[in-house]
Amino acid sequence: MSLAQAIAPHLPYLRRFARVLAGSQSGGDAYAVATLEAILADPAALDRRIDLRVALYRVFLKVWQSAQPRVEAPVAPGQQDEGFARLEQLTPRPRVAFLLAAVEGFSTAHVAEALDCSEDEATGLLTEAGRELSQQLATDILIIEDEPIIAMDLEALVESLGHRVIDVARTHKEALEAVKRRRPGLVLADIQLADGSSGLDAVNDILSEAEMPVIFITAYPERLLTGARPEPTFLVTKPFNPDAVKAVISQALFFDRRSHQAGVGSVAEAS
C-alpha cells in the first residue's frame, strides 16, 4: 500500500480536527494541505513506528505550531465554526490536547504522542483545558447518587471546577423533586439507587421534560450498553478517576453548548 493510500482514510478526520482548531473549514484545509506538503517533502516526518493516524496528527501539529501565520486563510462572514470563540479563549496547548481527546477520541497516550510529550504532561494539559472550560461553562449540577461518600467526593470535585451543586438525590423520586425545584444544566447520575429505583429511569423522566447533558457514573456500565440509554449521554465507570470525571464534565458541557448552536449531539465514554 502506498503512503497516499495509507493516509487517505484519515484525511476526513484530520480536516474535521483542523476545522475546529482553525475556526473555519477554509482555514483548517490550509493547514491540512500544508501538512500533506510537509510529508511529501520529507516522508520520514511521518513516524511509521507509531499509530499512523497519530503520526499524521503529529506532523499536522508541527505545521500548526510553526507555520500558523503563513497558512491562515481568511474567514468569510458566517463561516467561522460554532464554538470556536470559546475554544479560542483556551491556552493554545491545552486547547489542542482537549480537541485531540474530546473531538478525535484519542487516549491520553495518543494525545502525548501527537503532541510529542510525556503522558504526565498530556494529563496536565487535559486537566488545564478542563479547568479553563469549566470557568467558561459554569452551571448548576444535580447529583443522583445514593452512596454518601461518593456523593460528597463528586460534590467537592464539581465545586472545584467552579460549578454549583443544586441538590444530591438518593432516589428516583428525590431526583424528580429536585428538578422541579430548580432545573440543572448537567446531571451526574448513578444507576442503582438506594431504594432499588433506577437512575436511568430518573434521567429518562427528567429528559422528557427538559434537555440537558447527562453523565452516568456507575459500576454497572453494561446496563447502558444496550442501545436504550438516552442520547446525548456520557459514561464514566466506577471506581472513577477524578481527572476523567473532570474531563468528561467539560466535554459534556462543551458539546451541549455546541449542539444547541449547531443541532448535533455527542457521546463519550471514560473509565
CATH number at residue 261: 3.40.50.2300
| Residues 154-213: tens digit of each pLDDT | 999 999 888 999 999 999 999 999 999 999 999 999 988 878 888 889 999 999 988 899
Domain identity same for 205 and 98: no
Last residue in a domain, options 133, 159, 188: 133
149 and 55 together in one domain: no
215-253: pLDDT as tens digits? 999 887 777 765 555 555 688 888 888 888 888 888 888
**Domain boundary residue, one of 76, 111, 133:** 133
Measured distance CA(128)–CA(92) in Å, rounded: 11
pLDDT category at 265 given cuts 50, 70, 90 is: very low
Q: pLDDT at position 22, please?
A: 81
Q: What is the pLDDT of residues 106-132, one digit of tens each?
A: 999 999 999 999 999 999 999 888 888
Is the model's pLDDT at 263 over the cut of 60? no
Is the domain of 50 the same as that of 129? yes
Residue 96 predicted with pLDDT over 80: yes
Q: Are residues 155 and 262 both part of a single domain?
A: yes
Residues 111 and 170 in one domain: no
Asked if 20 and 32 sit in the same domain, the reply is yes
We report the CATH number of the domain holding residue 60 as 1.20.140.160
Which structural domain, as residue segments, surrounds residue 116?
3-133
Residues 175 and 247 in one domain: yes
Co-location of 13 and 92 in the same domain = yes
Map residue 107 onto helix, strand or coil: coil
Domains in the chain: how many in total? 2
Q: Phi and psi for 265 in degrees, rounded to 5? A: -115, -175
Q: Where are the alpha helices (DSSP H) in 72-107?
A: 84-88, 92-102
**pLDDT value, residue 45:** 93
Helix (H, G, I), strand (E, B) or coil at 155: helix
Same-domain check for residues 14 and 60: yes
C-alpha to C-alpha distance for 163 and 12, rounded to whole angstroms: 35
Q: What is the CA radius of gyration of the chain?
A: 20
Percentage, residues of the chain above pLDDT 90: 48
Are the C-beta atoms of residues 125 and 133 closer than 8 Å to each other? no
Task: Give the model confidence (pLDDT) of 6-22 as tens digits.
Answer: 899 999 999 989 988 88
Strand partners, 235: 216, 269
Q: Are residues 160 and 81 in the same domain?
A: no
One domain for residues 125 and 168: no
Indicate if the pLDDT at residue 145 is higher than 80.
Answer: yes
117 and 155 within one domain: no
Last residue of some domain: 89, 113, 133? 133
User: Which pTM was predicted?
Assistant: 0.69
